[in-house]
A and B are shown apart, each in its own frame.
Chain A
Amino acid sequence: MKWHVLRPLWVAIGLVGSILVARVFLVPDDFGINGRNFTYGFHRLSNIQEWKDFPVKYRGREYCVECHEEKVDSLNASPHQPVECENCHGAAVNHPDDPELLPIDRSREHCLRCHAQLNYPHSARDQVPGINNRMHMRRRDCAECHNPHSPAEEKQ
């Protein structure tokens, strides 16, 4: 005699079985508890290396000085010494191969990031020499008169 429960039961068992088989192929070998516990460390281990291989774009002053020694020296001797080269010249990435030329940000807005006077008492902005953006040489670029590599002296 056929038992009517059996047929759907086989279907259910078959489904569970196929999921278990599919799991073997779909879940990577290194997936599991790789950290301190299940709650915080349940992941694919090789992803850590994938993040470590993410390309670096900002190379830092030590990279620039390899070729542009006198430029870096002039910057280091100026009050702009704490400013990184790449803040104005853009990320080096693989310069000089790629990109061959770096776009230099000479815009007024770029200088104003630090040198716009905001009249905030006791704020760090107040410690930086600043200008009133609405009064001082409006619509002119700062670099027309000031040399960013030695800002203390003005051109002409």
Chain B
Amino acid sequence: MTCSRRSFLKDAVGGTLVSSLPLSAFVFLSNEEAIAAVDEAKVRWAFLVDTTTCTGCGLCVKACKTENEIPYDAPVTRTWVERYVVTKDGQTHIDSPLGGRDGFIDDKIRDEEIDPDNIDKAFFVPKLCNQCDNPACVQVCPVGATYQTHDGVVLIDRNWCIGCGYCIMACPYGVRFFHPTAKVADKCNFCYHRISQGMQPACVECCSFGARRLANLNDPDDPVTKIIKTERVAVLKDEYGTKPHVFYIGLDEAVR
């Protein structure tokens, strides 16, 4: 067998090109699959919280627990409301009894009476899953039970979760918890069953003050997206690099 230099070079270049093609380059998408892929890219769910209008009624927490079948009296919740009271001596008093499920009807904070004349500012901050672009909770899952969907929502496969709790430790926002009856990790998913059929999440629907709103970031005509894009909004714990997608209006420095 002979091999000229010319044919050797030709075959080597050709072979390299062919072997560098990924296998997926040969996959033909059906029409439905191609349409589905494009449609999915049209949606990127995000959330807008207006802390200046939240009154701390806690009806969002109540609605969330009912809608998502979270045991009502267990000290776990997918969303919660925190109360911040900054006093003139520079102290910040924070509480969230039962996640704010029963609202804030008493001015005592952790059994501590606070003199109204001593208050500089006070406000309520609703919290929920940030549906991060780089979700730390998904990276640490050892079994592939939690994942990010095409529309940006992070879901948990209840049949696949082994309950190891790595994700609960990994989330910088503390939104994950161990579901007391399903015996798996659980967290807010923007009411995925509602938003995927055009409804609003339960907490958004039950908010009387417009403090919670859902946005589709890939839709430039979405009024909430316009607010996120054009007004001054902030995210929680930006320094973690998780790229959270819950945006806050009027976020105070005291909020952690």
Residue from A39, A51, A84, A119 in contact with B138 in the complex, judged by beta carbons closer than 8 Å: A39
Complex: chain B residue closest to A51, CB-CB: B192
Q: Which residues of A contact B107 (CB under 8 A)?
A: 118-119
Check A139 for interface membership: any CB of B closer than 8 A. no
Q: How far is the CA of A41 from the CA of B144 in the complex (A)?
A: 8
Closest to A110 in B: B103
- Min Cβ gap A51→B in Å is 5
Count of chain A residues near B, Cβ 8 A: 45
| Contact call B157/A47, Cβ cutoff below 8 A | yes
A114 lies within 8 A of chain B by Cβ: yes
* Number of residues on chain B facing chain A (CB within 8 A): 57
Q: Bound complex: CA of A35 vs CA of B199, how far in Å?
A: 24
Interface hits, B97-146 → A, CB 8 Å: 102-107, 116, 119-124, 134-135, 138-139, 144-146
Identify the stretch in B11-19, B200-208, B224-232 within 8 Å (CB) of chain A at 4 or more residues: B200-208
Query: Are B103 and A112 touching (Cβ within 8 A)?
Result: yes
| Main DSSP-derived SS at the B contact region | loop
Q: Which of B58, B102, B105, B209 contacts A124 (CB 8 A)?
A: B209
**Contact in complex: B192, A116 (CB < 8 Å):** no
B183 / chain A contacts, CB cutoff of 8 Å: none
Q: Does B189 sit within 8 A of A, measured CB to CB?
A: yes
B-contacting 9-mer, from A3-11, A12-20, A54-62, A146-154: A54-62
Nearest 10 A/B pairs, CB to CB: A113-B103, A120-B122, A43-B147, A54-B193, A119-B116, A113-B57, A112-B105, A116-B105, A82-B208, A47-B157
Q: Which residues of B contact A (CB under 8 A)?
A: 52-59, 63, 66-68, 85, 102-107, 116, 119-124, 134-135, 138-139, 144-150, 155, 157-160, 189, 192-194, 196-197, 199-200, 202, 205-206, 208-211
